[in-house]
Structure formats: C-alpha cells, structure tokens
Amino acid sequence: MNIRLSALLLSVSALALSLPSISSAQVNGEVGRASDVVIQGSILEPEKLQVSDDTKLTALIKAPEGFKVEVFARDLINPRMLAVSDKGIVYATRRSVGDVIMLKDDDNDGKADGALTVASRPGMHGIAFDGSTVFLVTIHDVYTADVKEDGTFGPLKRIINDLPDAGQHANRTLGIGPDGMLYIGSGSTCNECQDDNPENATVLRASKDGASRSIFASGLRNTIGFDWEPTTGVLYGMDHGIDWLGDEVQVEELNRIEQGKKYGWPYVYGMSGLNPRMDPPEGVTLEDWAKQSTEPVLGYTAHSAPMQMAFYDGSSFPPDYQGDAFIAMRGSWNRRPPSGYEIVRVNFENGKPVAFEKFLEGFLLQQVNGKYGYLGRLTGVAVGKDGSLFVADDSNGTVYKVSFSASATTQAAEARTIPNVVTDMPASKIAIDLVEAKGSDAIAVTSAFDQDAPIPLQYAADGDNASPALEWSGAPEGSKSFVIICDDPDAAKPKPFTHWIAYDIPASFTKMREGIPGAPILQDPKGLKQGANSVGSLGYTGPKPPVGDPAHHYHFQVFALDIETLGLEPGQKRDAVLKAMEGHVLAEGQIVGTFERKMASK
C-alpha cells in the first residue's frame, strides 16, 4: 500500500482554542423549544495501515526536537488504558479481550519482555494504583487486588457492583484523588438523550472500600481522561463532544471539574451553545440550563475523541514540560477532514491551562489515492518512573515509549504530594432541629409506614427507589407553601445524609403521591421544585445504608411557610434551602422510618 509520508496538516482554524458559537458553527437556524435548523455532517472513516518494521514505523511519527519514539511492545491486540505501578512496571487494560496485561522490562533494553495477563474480567477498562493496591473497573463493577512483589495481582475483590448501564459509552475509568477517594468516569448511554440514571454522564466519587459514593460532577457526556493538576490539586478532564452537530461542532472540552457543578450535557455544549435537538424538562429553558452550567476552560478540534489524560510529573523531559498534561486523541470517524490520531500537550502556567499544542503526530496519513489512513488510534498515556511517556494504540495493538534523547541520564522524579481541594460538609443536625418554627403545634405527617417502623423495600435504593406517599395535616392558617426534607442522621458521611428536598409546594397541596419523578420542576403539583440530595442527583433517592449497619432512621420532615416561594432555582442544596426558610417557618412535623440492609445486593 502506498502511503504519502507527510501527515495530514489540520488547518489553523481547526486548532483554534476559542470555542465556536452557534452562529459560526454548522448549526444554522433558530434553536429552542421549536428548533428549525440545518446541520451538515460527515462520515469519513480512515482505514487502518500497518507497518511491521519498528524503525520504519517510528520514522513516520513526528515528535518535538530532542524526543525519541520507540516501540515498547506490539501485537497486544487492544491496549487501552495504561498505568505504571510504584515499582515502575507498565500495565495495560484490554477492553475487547477483557483483561489487564503486565509489560515488564527487566533487562532495561527499552522494550517489554512480554505480556502477561494479571487480571481478567469482561469489559475491563480503567486501572489505577494506590501503593500496593490496584483498582480496576468494568462497566458495572469496581475491583481491588493486592500487587505482589513480582508485579502480578492477587485475587480480585469486588467492592462496587452497581455502576449504571453504559450503552454507547462502555469505557469506565478511575483514579485516586488527593483526598484519598476513588473517582470514576461514568459516561452517558447515548450521544444525546435524557439518561434515566442520574449517575450516567458524571464523575462519581466513592470511598475506597466502595461502601459509599456520590455524584461529584454531572453533565459530562463521556469524560474518560481526567487527572489532578500537581500544584493546585484541581481536577481537570477532557469530555467527548456531542456528535452530529457538524464537522466543527462540538469541540472536545477541557473542563475544570469541581464538586457539585454541572457541565451542560445534553442540552448545552461548549461556550453555552444550545443543542437544537434537546429540550430540558418542563419549566426549565435552554437558557436557564446554560446559566446553571459551567463552561470549559479550553476547547480542542471537534470529534478528536479524547481518551486518557496524564499530568507530567517526571524529570527527564525539559523543565517547561513539568506540570503540563498529555492527552491521547483516538481520532474521528465523522469529520472532514479527520481530526485526532495524535497526542496533544496542554500547556499549564501557574497551575492553569492556557493552550493546546501537538506533541506526537504523523499517525494520520493521506494516501496517494486521496484517502486517509491511520497508523494508530491512540488511547492511553502514562508517565514512567524514568520520566518517559508511554502511549497506547488500541487498533494496531502497540505501546510506544517516548523519551527525551538530550538527557544523558534519567532520574526518577521526587514524589510530590498533590494538595486536596475537596472538602466534605461538616456534620450537622437534621433540618427540624435547625429550624425554629413560630408555632408550637406540630404538623401531623403520615406515610406508607408507621412511625419508627421499617420502610418498605420499594422505597429503598435496592428496590424501586420510589419516593413514599406522604400526607400531612394541621398546618396553621397563613401557610402559603410547604417544604419537605428527608434526612438520615445515622450516616457516617455526610451527616446527615439528605435523601430528598422539595420546596415551593403549593399551600393547597397536602398529599404527595408515591413515585415522584426526579425532575427539577414538577407539573403536578405545578411549580414544585426539587433540590439536590446527598447522592448529587435531583429529587428523591432511597435508603441504602452500608451492609451490616444497624437500622438507619429516615426523618421525613414537613415545614409550613408563610411565603409562596423561597426564591430559589431548582437543584439547591440543603444549606441554601434552610437559609431561605429562616424566619418563615410557621410549623413543622415529621414521620420517621427505618431501613437496614442485611445482605449485599446486585
């Protein structure tokens, strides 16, 4: 096969760091509840090219001056995510094979001595080391294992078994944060849709024993690559943009991922671009959603398909690479001309990203017949203990090693502690103990369970996760709205764990049916708003105490207010709701139910 050795040069405009707006993109027309737009897209799939000779292959790959690219291992079938253990051993997950392979280089000749499978589960994809423990993730499950002296893994122990379904994005990844918590990338099930599981299209935060987890950030379509900036401890991640909005839309987003924030998907993309095909829930406009969402800090060429991301903490690259990030771009199938098929560098200055630049290119080639071909689709990046950069190609089954040839010797970088910027909520009391009512007469609250009796399974997270029916009476004259807050004071963290917040409930409404949807604003009763629970989703989330804990107590609290609205947007947290209630509570009441999990559930 004849190959033109010059790589495809993308236009300067395609690499521009400013994010295109609707008007400059290929979404032309009116966007809103009744969109009328024209979108032009492409399908262009480059063909796979193979070069069997290592020297000829690496000669086609372009790197900055002074850098050397070598084949570390080949014929690996499908290496995806990479990780390097404390002992400097390189590991790769293989999603299509369903395993993890160890790539040792005991003779230090710069090439792997072989590939040894050290763990095996269907759909194995994400991998992270925490000292002598390895964490692995499949679609639904997270496993841990001890790392033995020879680098092999001990028996796998499953610590999480109920991650959401994956659908289109079955590429779970994970990492250990500076706070000692486990972070899991959980993509959407689709290109653009209203996922019914609030844990889809998120980054999740879990304890390392898997006993508890919450939504750290949402509105992230498919954030496979994420890592913590070494000097600030801030989490950054690259999110895959929405397809079928045009060749130049949507850019791939570099987001500063912060606790409790949402990032737009599926209704808003890029710099507050409005998705013409998707409408938010009733009562919320696209403009409202954009105001509530956080824009990316940088954008990269649309459809490049960002994969693994790693900050450079080695010592063998030039000093100006310290603290910069590398991202693998797997490459497009729906852009003309193709994009991606490269490793990019994100320049950071004073702990903040300022620009993208190409680091490794030449994997995308234009043949003499005008068609495009690729030498690799890049998926994994990891920094070695000697300061080199390892790069995985999941199409031709190759792992590359990139070193800086100008350095006569390489020394392992000193271990640096990344600062923790994530703080947990301090322990508090349940809402009814924090609020002072003007009247002394209590509101009578009833439900499907008796006072201090077990809550039926259908209202628990392991059951139907449906909110229980509530009815209340005895609200004083002058009541203009109600608030419902459900707290669990027996939870270890956060304390209390809030399972439900509903506010701006009309005064004429004193009976809540079971199974209320998790919409931000309800249509029946009209205007009822729901806040964020401690899981990080909107609306009700059922009891799910740790297995083996004594029965937890769930306080369903009802407050009568002398105002019709708290003046808050939907999605507020408990503290904001309680603050808005101050001085307006006429009466309060509660019913308490219990729940205990005696055995693990699927």
- Three-state SS annotation for 522-541: EECCEEEEECECCCCCECCC
Residue 306: predicted pLDDT = 98
- DSSP class per residue in 406-446: T-SS--PPPP-PPPP---PPPP---HHHH---S-SSPPEEE
Helices (H), 352-494: 431-434
Residue 1: predicted pLDDT = 42
Residue 8: predicted pLDDT = 36
* 229: enclosing H helix or E strand: none
Residue 557: predicted pLDDT = 98
Q: In sequence order, what are the residues at sequence separation of 6 or more whose Cβ sits closer than 8 angstroms to the Cβ of residue 409?
A: none
Residue 367: predicted pLDDT = 85
pTM above 0.85, yes or no: yes
Residue 28: predicted pLDDT = 65
* 52: enclosing H helix or E strand: none
Task: Name the nearest CA neighbour of 489 among 430, 550, 401.
Answer: 430
- Stretches in the chain below the pLDDT threshold 70: 1-29, 406-415, 599-602
* Domains of the chain, earliest start first: 13-404 (2.120.10.30), 431-595 (3.90.280.10)
Q: Which of 25-43 are b and which e, b meaning 16 or more Cβ less than 10 Å from the residue's Cβ?
A: bbbeeebeeebeeebeeee
Q: What's the Cα-to-Cα distance from 540 to each of 72, 265, 487, 514, rounded to whole Å?
A: 50, 22, 11, 11
3-state secondary structure of 63: coil
Model pLDDT for residues 396-441, shown as the tens digit of each residue: 999 999 999 865 444 555 667 899 989 888 999 999 999 999 999 9
Residue 405: predicted pLDDT = 83
Question: Would you say 239 and 220 are in contact if contact means Cβ atoms under 8 Å apart?
Answer: yes
Structure tokens at 280: 């938010």
Structure tokens at 195: 């996922």
Residue 12: predicted pLDDT = 29
Q: Compute, in degrees rounded to 10, the torsion defined by CA atoms 260, 264, 267, 272.
A: 140
Task: Name the nearest CA neighbour of 383 among 439, 277, 309, 470.
Answer: 309
User: Residue 480 has what DSSP assignment?
Assistant: -
| Distance separating alpha carbons of residues 414 and 3, to the nearest angstrom | 44
Model pLDDT for residues 569-580, shown as the tens digit of each residue: 999 999 999 999
Residue 32: predicted pLDDT = 75
